[in-house]
Amino acid sequence: MLIRPSGRSTDFISPSFGYGCLYNCSYCYMKRHKPDGLSISTNTGDILTAINNHAYFTPVNKPNQTHADYTTYDISCNEDFALHAKYHDWERIFEFFRDHPVAMGAFATKYVNPNLINFDPQGKIRIRFSLMPQHMSDIHEPNTSKIIDRIKAINAFIDAGYDVHVNFSPVIVEDDWLEDYEYLFDMMNDYVDYKDQVHAEVIFLTHNEKKHEENLKKHPETELHLWNPAIQEEKISQYGGTNIRYAKHLKPLYIDAFKALHERVIPWNKIRYIF
């Protein structure tokens, strides 16, 4: 029942309701620990009890960038909860957060699950739709919902009672990446109605040597974008292993370019954090 501090997307990361994923994204950090299959925890009640106790006894300074009032918990760090919802007692989990005076649930997803819209979480569940240019998603996130469908779903999920943000992650730097993001931002401008409510988080690619080697065996085409030593450098991860990220002298330039474009096209989409 380990509840880990985060401070970026959410204040904390809950114990896993599921571990593994039925998607197969090229850049997934979790897949290098569990390449295949999905395990679903059977002790949902115990996990919710742990979150309940933690929320009551762990003071968090509010407001902060994760939420003005509630203590936020990412419930899906090792899976795609929306994709796997049918394997979970998801309504019980959502009801827990809906009715909790302190705790709020959140998760990122690449799947537009229409069943979730029949539930009204009264703003206590945040869905973060992950977005990247469609042609990159086709290569790196096979079989996930189309980017345009994730963007179009934003209004419907807000109407249903969800808090909705977007998650530009991972940002992969390659030829014409800024033109591709401009097109993506234009789509958001065209389709998002609730422009004052939808915030963003932006995370540039961190790759991993072990995952790189697995990808080379299974789908080498993904490594043309992910493995780019000319602009990347090594970093030893806090969880062990060698990670690869954009070089220290280049990343600030990429971040500035992303922010300038974002500010020009969709200034309403407040960036909560970018790194």
Applying CB under 6 A, the span of 24-32, 33-41, 56-64, 213-221 interacting with ligand SF4 comes to 24-32
Q: How far is the CB of 99 from ligand SF4 (least distance, A)?
A: 28
225 binds ligand SF4 (CB under 6 A): no
Bridging pattern class, strands 38-40 and 18-20? antiparallel
Site for ligand SF4 in 2-21 (CB under 6 A): 21
Asked if 30 interacts with ligand SF4 (CB under 6 A), we say yes
* 28 makes contact with ligand SF4 (CB under 6 A): yes
> Residue 266, interface with ligand SF4 (CB under 6 A)?
no
User: What's the closest the beta carbon of residue 75 comes to ligand SF4, in angstroms?
Assistant: 13
Q: If DSSP codes are grouped into helix, strand and coil, which group holds residue 40?
A: strand
Tell me the closest approach of the beta carbon of residue 95 to ligand SF4, in angstroms. 24
Helix axes 147-160, 177-191, angle to 10 degrees: 30
74, 79, 163, 201: residue in contact with ligand SF4 (rule CB under 6 A): 79
Q: Is the dihedral of CA 110, 41, 9, 115 positive or negative?
A: positive
Give which of 160, 67, 150, 81 is closest to 112, Cα–Cα. Answer: 150
Q: Which residues contact 222 (CB under 8 A, 6 or more apart)?
A: 26, 27, 139, 140, 215
Closest CA to 226 of 104, 162, 141: 141
User: Parallel, antiparallel, or unpaired for β 163-171 and 200-204?
Assistant: parallel
**Applying CB under 6 A, does 140 fall inside the site for ligand SF4?**
no
79 vs 163 by CB, closer to ligand SF4: 79
By the rule CB under 6 A, 85 interacts with ligand SF4? no
Residue of 80, 150, 173, 246 interacting with ligand SF4 (CB under 6 A) = 80
Q: Minimal distance in Å, beta carbon 21 to ligand SF4?
A: 3
With CA atoms as reference, report the closest residue to 116 among 166, 81, 65, 165: 81
Q: Helices 177-191 and 251-265, interaxial angle, to 10°?
A: 30
- How many residues touch ligand SF4 under the rule CB under 6 A: the total is 10
> Mask 103-132, x = binds ligand SF4 (CB under 6 A)?
-------x----------------------
- Closest approach of ligand SF4 to the CB of residue 83, in Å: 7
Task: Pick left, alpha or beta for residue 20 (phi over 0 → left; psi -120 to 50 → alpha; otherwise beta).
Answer: left
| Contacting positions for ligand SF4 (CB under 6 A) | 21, 23-25, 28, 30-31, 79-80, 110
